[in-house]
Chains A and B, each alone.
Chain A
Amino acid sequence: GESVGLHLPTLSVQEGDNSIINCAYSNSASDYFIWYKQESGKGPQFIIDIRSNMDKRQGQRVTVLLNKTVKHLSLQIAATQPGDSAVYFCAENSGSARQLTFGSGTQLTVLP
């Protein structure tokens, strides 16, 4: 079936560097995408979203890029901090009930 997946299961970056987390999706009909951050033992926390009529959206230290041609989504975190260490999930909105389909997640580890 349709699915959302991630290229890299783990990512380690030095504190202060920029991080890029990638996501591939296969449902060309998806029109809304969200990035969530999940710390150990907690629920997912909304980071940033983007609709399919946009190719870039910026938030505080984060940028989401959407390439509909190749069905690719990325999350860029500027000046990565230790508190950014977590699992990051991309999700797409699908179905008549606008359900979320989650990717497999990327574990981001920030090295001191």
Chain B
Amino acid sequence: GAVVSQHPSRVICKSGTSVKIECRSLDFQATTMFWYRQFPKQSLMLMATSNEGSKATYEQGVEKDKFLINHASLTLSTLTVTSAHPEDSSFYICSARAPWAGTDTQYFGPGTRLTVL
């Protein structure tokens, strides 16, 4: 149980285009999902908290107009990188908080490697 998927696993795009990344909880419902970014040899940095049915909460320094988050259902959150530039190239990872009581555990997706040319 507690499987989280991401699609696509890898994407290459031209500078100036937009890219959508999907995060799905496959066997549980998640009212809260999280989006992280990870640069090579670095730790995971939280970008935003995605709550089903409400606006996402962005971390300081993360542009909400550039990284659009939509959490339209209890099993799906999407991250759209708008007008992507080479500096946006990174490993994007989502997680979903386990819904069962008594735990704050987050289960992570396999990540999406974004390369902007």
Chain A residues with a Cβ under 8 A of chain B: 32, 34, 36, 41-46, 49, 89, 93, 97-105
Contacts and interface: CB of A to CB of B under 8 A. Distances in A.
8 contacts: A44-B93, A46-B105, A46-B107, A49-B105, A93-B104, A99-B34, A101-B46, A102-B45
B106 A100 contact: yes
Given A43-B109, A97-B57, A89 B43 contact: yes
Interface residues of B, number: 26
B32 interface: yes
A97 B32 contact: yes
Interface of B: 2, 4, 6, 32, 34, 42-46, 49, 57, 91, 93, 95, 97, 103-111, 113
B105 A44 contact: no
Q: From DSSP, what is the main secondary structure of chain B's interface residues?
A: strand
A43 B49 contact: no
Given A34-B105, A97-B57, A103 B49 contact: no
Contacts of B106: 34, 100
B43 A44 contact: no
Contact of A98 (B6, B45, B91, B97): B97
A93 B95 CA distance: 14
A24 B46 CA distance: 19
Given A41-B113, A97-B49, A103 B107 contact: no
Contacts of A49: 103, 105
A70 B43 CA distance: 23
B7 to A, nearest CB: 13
Contacts of A100: 34, 44, 46, 95, 106
Contacts of A105: 42-43
A2 to B, nearest CB: 13
A44 B106 CA distance: 10
